[in-house]
Amino acid sequence: MKKIAIYPGSFDPITNGHIDLIKRASKLFDAVIIGITQNSKKTAFLNIDERLKSTKSVVQEIDNIKVMSFDTLLVDFAKSQNAQIILRGLRAVSDFEYEFQLSGMNKHLNPNIETLFMTPAEQYANISSSLVREILSLGGDISSFVPINVENLLKAKMY
C-alpha cells in the first residue's frame, strides 16, 4: 500500500518554511498532497487560484507532490485521497496545544488517519504566512522568507 500524506494549510502565502517541510516529507512518503483550504470564515490575502498557482510553481520539480484545494473536513478530504497521514508543522511549543487538539479531534472523526508532527529547519522556525504579510504591508524585505515568484506575486497584489 502506498503511504500518502496530506499537508493541509491556507498557504497564504507559501513560505520557505512550508517548502522545507514539503521537501523533507517527499522523501518519507510515496506521495504528499498539499491541501490548500478554502476556509470561508477566514479572509485570505491571496485568492484560492493564486495560492494554488504559486504553490504548484514552487513544488513542480518534486515528482511525488500534488497540490489541491478542498473545502470539506480534513479527514474527509484525506479519506477521499486515500491518505493515511496528516502532516502538521510545529514551529514553536505554542503551536503544540492547538495542533494536539486538532489531532485528537481528527482521530475521533477518523481513527484510521494518523497525524505526524514535523518541525522546521532552524532557519525557518520563526516564519509564518501572517508575519510575511505583515512585514510586506509595512514595507519590509520578505525575500528571505518566500521564493522570488511568491514575493513578486505578493508585491503586485499589495501595491
> How do the pLDDT tens digits run along the chain, 159 residues long?
899 999 999 999 999 999 999 999 999 999 999 999 987 677 899 999 999 999 999 999 999 999 999 999 999 999 999 999 999 999 877 778 889 999 999 999 999 999 999 998 999 988 999 999 999 999 999 999 999 999 999 999 988
The pLDDT value recorded for residue 18 is 96
The pLDDT value recorded for residue 34 is 98
- The DSSP output letter for 72 is S
Sign of CA dihedral 27, 37, 141, 98: negative
Whole-angstrom CA distances from 62 to 67, 83, 142 are 11, 18, 24
Q: Measured between alpha carbons, how far is 95 from 154 in angstroms, rounded to an integer?
A: 25
| Residue 34 in grid coordinates | 498539499
Domains of the chain: residue spans and CATH: 4-158 (3.40.50.620)
pTM (two decimals): 0.93
The pLDDT value recorded for residue 40 is 62
The pLDDT value recorded for residue 113 is 95
Residue with cell 493564486: 50
In Å, the largest CA–CA distance within the chain is 49
Instruction: Give me Rg for the CA atoms of the chain.
Output: 15
Q: Which residues carry out catalysis?
A: 18, 42, 91, 129
